[in-house]
Amino acid sequence: MTEFLQTLTSGVALGSLYAVLALGFVIVARASGILNLAQGSFVVLGAYLAYALIHQAGLPFWAGVMVAMAAVALFAVLLEAFVLHRVSDHFAALLVTFGVTIAVAPVITGIWPGDSLNLGDPWALSVLRIGGIGITARDATLIPITAVLLLGFFLFFRYTRVGLSLRATAIDSEAAMAQGVSTRFVYGISWGIAGALGAFGGIMLSTTVGGGVRPGLEVYAFLALPVIILGGLESPLGAVVGGLIIGIVQQFAVSLVPESWGSGFSEVVPYLVMLAILLIRPAGLFGRREVRRA
């Protein structure tokens, strides 16, 4: 039982991280209809900038995290304004964002070389014990922070004017424009949020035990893609629920699957879940069925 709860907690921690990354994809997809693979570059940039700010500029950990998130958000806004805005269709946009990720990642790892850079997070290896379950201090901090972040996101979406214009643009951009919503502004905001979320995800990915800031982080951003298939491409709620499901399933795969299934099975679990979902419920848990009218 304790072992079950133990796995469940670490699954929730991993899942909330996936939820953050998936939300980054979903918010851009909702606003502008683009599957933004540049999210991978946000993750890499966020983690390495945080490393540079904390270690080379000497900022305290959380200050470094905030500044890195802001910087990546700015990068995302500029990317939208100067590159993506000039791309006319979703087909090219997907390829362009993919191109951005492949070009940015090697440059960044070239500037800060090393297989594993320690971010200097305040948790180190300390473990909290709650009723027999050991939770790493990192997970214990990560879960509430992510919960607050997601809650704030929903409140913003639901109750602010900007959130309303985001939703309006998602439903019908022309009608929103007719009501005086600036779609340029909405696109900028949504890319900025995606950038900040991606940076946060990247930083938190780098605080796992034995992880560190390392090359190949962009591949972890792509692990959020099965999440958005599971949750539905344009559903923020789906991103959160899907993230938690995939995180928990993956952690149980780590602890339950016998060795005979081969090395690295847990790493492909998200993709296998995705294939199963596409077979059973292709629109995702919270996605709308595709309706086509002529």
Contacting positions for another protein (CB under 8 A): 29, 33-35, 37, 83, 86-96, 98-107, 109-110, 113, 172, 219, 222, 225-226, 228-229, 232-234, 261-265, 267-268, 270-272, 274-275, 278-279, 282-283, 287-294
CA 263 from chain centre, in angstroms, equals: 25
Of 65 and 277, CB closest to another protein: 277
| Distance in Å, CB of 228 to another protein, minimum | 8
Is the CB of 96 or the CB of 133 nearer to another protein?
96
How far CA 53 is from CA of 45, 47, 63, 111, 277, in Å, comes to 12, 10, 9, 14, 41
Beta carbon of residue 100, minimum distance to another protein (angstroms, whole number): 6
Nearer to another protein, 248 or 274 (CB): 274
Nearer residue to another protein within complex by CB, 207 or 287:
287
Shortest Cβ distance from residue 165 to another protein (Å)? 19
Mention every residue, 6+ apart, whose C-beta is less than 8 A from residue 58.
none
If the CB atoms of residues 35 and 59 are measured against another protein, the closer one turns out to be 35
Name which of 30 and 138 has its Cβ closer to another protein: 30
Please state the closest distance from residue 289 (CB atom) to another protein, in A: 8
Tokens of 195: 């950038």
| In the complex, least distance from residue 288 CB atom to another protein, rounded to whole angstroms | 5
Smallest distance from another protein to CB 275, Å: 6
